Structure 1
Amino acid sequence: MQSTKQYNVHRAAMHIVGVILLTGSFSAYSDLQPVLADIPTYSYSLWPYLPDLGNSFDPDTEPVELGVKFRSDVDGQVTAIRFYRSVPIDSGYKVNVWSATGELLGSGVAIEGQGPTPGWQTVIVYPPAAIKAGEIYTASYYASKGNYLVKDNFWTDVNVENGPLHILRQGVYSSDGIFLRPCAQVTDSNCERNGVFKYGLEGGFPTEGYLASNYWIDIVFKTQVPPPYFPYKGLIPGN
């Protein structure tokens, strides 16, 4: 009987605490809630627009992970990855966010049937991948049947800027991210390649490059840093 009485007292106390929290009477909770609600979030993508890219796909059918390197001027999170897919894949699609050293920061999987084929596919990254300002990251997707969209020699003399986001032109950069020169050759050890890939079952961190190829990958990036100081939008030709 004593244990039952103690349990009932404990349950009653927990009920009172629950009512306090739900009604907002607990000062720390009520003070915190408006602060969280009042912080605005701003959303950006790598591309200022998502074009309809048609049906020009590489006939390669080997499994491959394809990626694009990017950086941000502000801290934030990648909450989704978009890519232009060609064929339905019953096993679905996996996307990943990687650090410059190959650490997997976030991933997501989408089942088949969520969008038209060919067309843009959006896959949620959950939990979101944290992004730090000024660092280089790779957003990628795994194409288990190949047949990916590609445009060769895209990143040799162009980078893309949209809001705080930058897709890097392929080349040699200084330690603080300043473009110095184009890559001397494919095997240039100092070359920061873009348009990267990794062949093999289940894919993995893509680091190989071929002809500075664009695989048409995008992200959904969210930040609490407000605009409008971002000066550029669109394709920026190299000098």
Structure 2
Amino acid sequence: MKRLAALLPALLLLQAAPALAADTPYAMIHSPSTGTSVPLNTPLVLAGGAVNGESGGVTTVEFSSDGVNWTSLDARTETWSTVLFPSVPGPVTIWARARTASALGAVTASTTIHVGGSTTPPLHGDTKLVLPPQPGHPAELDPDLAAVELGLRTRFDRAGSVPAVVLRRGGYTGPVTARVWGPDGTLLAQQAAPGAAHSQRITFATPVPVQPGVDYVVSYYTPAGGYVASEGYFLGGVANAPFYAGVEAGVYRYGEGGGFPTETWNASNYWIEPIFRP
């Protein structure tokens, strides 16, 4: 009986110890969106995220376009990205799976793109262009204090309108002016907006009609710089239907009062995202 009594505390401790959760890493693909069309022989951003519940510890994400050959990417920040070069026309499906130091997760994400095609995946109401984070290309505050117009060149896969834009504010938090420009630099709409400290949605008085396959520019003018930029972001195009923002899609123009932005710098992204209404 004494020996049994001595063993009981140890047995209770063993029973009380919680079981260690098994690693189940989960990969996601944020861009390109499934069903979208991308140009042939043009660099394309592939970007996503990865999680492993509360355990964390994701190390890499692997992606494949045939389910047999896999390419590994660093995902220790729980984000990942690379630039592809689609060179064969037709539909392509990309799969993704995540790893930790001790486990390879199942395939948990896929997206099908149409290389060199023309598709219009279904939309459900207003859609914002989502520019996914890319490791190695962080959104940083720029100390520039000069007056400047900062924009994004993008096209749409169908006719519709742009009712608003969303921009990420930087160190300058005063009033700005949002604008939409046609492909030839014609000013289609502008809307003054009060100051804001963080992200800001600016709605135009009337939604701006847009046509498919035409490059438009959405921009905002800041009279004192103080913006956010991610250098090296647009080394490839970002394709999230109904939007396609190509290589060097970030544009700017210096000068009092701003104007149609056409200059580029190191594939920078200035974090202005249009909203599309079908």
The answer to whether 1:213 aligns with 2:272 is no
Aligned residue number for residue 58 of structure 1: 142
The CA deviation string for residues 186-209 of structure 1, in whole angstroms up to 9 with x for no partner, is xxxxxxxx2111101110100111
Runs of 4+ in 1 over 4 A off after TM superposition: 48-51
CA distance in 1, matches of 2:232, 2:159: 30
Unaligned runs of 5+ in 1: 1-39, 171-193, 224-239
- For the 8 Å contact 1:195–1:212, the answer to whether it is kept is yes
Q: Note the aligned Cα RMSD (angstroms).
A: 2.3
State which of 164, 170, 184 in structure 1 corresponds to 2:242. Answer: 164
Q: Larger strand proportion, structure 1 or 2?
A: 2
Matched, 1:222 2:277: yes
Per-residue deviation at 1:166?
1.1
Q: 2:205 — aligned with what?
A: 126
Deviation at 1:50, TM superposition (A): 8.7
What residue in structure 1 maps to residue 161 of structure 2?
77
Give the corresponding residue for 1:7. none
Q: Does 1:94 align with 2:177?
A: yes
The match for 1:144 is: 223
Which segments of 5 or more consecutive residues in structure 2 lack a partner in the other structure? 1-122
What are the superposed Cα offsets for residues 46-85 of structure 1, whole Å, 9 maximum, x if unpaired? Answer: 116699x998301000010001110011001110111111
Cα deviation 1:174-193 (Å, max 9, x = unaligned): xxxxxxxxxxxxxxxxxxxx
Question: Which residue of 2 is the match for residue 227 of structure 1?
Answer: none
How far the C-alpha of 1:106 sits from its partner, in A, is 1.2
Report the TM-score when normalising by structure 1: 0.59
Task: Decide whether the 8 Å contact of 2:142 with 2:226 is kept in 1.
Answer: yes
| 1:44 corresponds to 2:127 | yes
Distance in 2, Cα, partners of 1:80 & 1:50: 22
Q: Is 1:105 the counterpart of 2:188 in the alignment? A: yes
Identity among equivalent pairs (%)? 32
The alignment partner of 1:155 has SS state of helix
Relative to structure 1, the CA distance from residue 71 to residue 100 in structure 2 (aligned partners, 3 Å threshold; closer, same or farther) is same
Instruction: Return the alpha-carbon distance in structure 2 between the equivalents of residues 69 and 45 of structure 1.
Output: 15
Instruction: Report how far residue 128 of structure 1 moved.
Output: 1.4
- CA apart distance, 1:169: 2.0
**Cα distance in 1, alignment partners of residues 138 and 250 from structure 2:** 20
Please give the alpha-carbon distance, in whole angstroms, between the structure 2 residues aligned to 1:80 and 1:111: 15
Alpha-carbon distance between aligned partners in 2 of 1:111 and 1:221, rounded to the nearest angstrom: 22
Q: What is the CA–CA distance in structure 1 between the aligned matches of 2:133 and 2:204, rounded to whole Å?
A: 19
Work out the number of aligned pairs and report it: 154
Cα distance change of structure 1 residues 88 and 153 upon mapping to structure 2, 3 Å threshold: closer
Q: Distance in 2 between matches of 1:203 and 1:103?
A: 14
CA contact (8 A) 1:57 1:148 kept: yes
- CA spacing shift, 1:210–1:54, aligned 2, 3 Å: closer
Bigger relative contact order (CA 8 A; separation at least 6): 1
Paired AA for residue 169 in structure 1: V
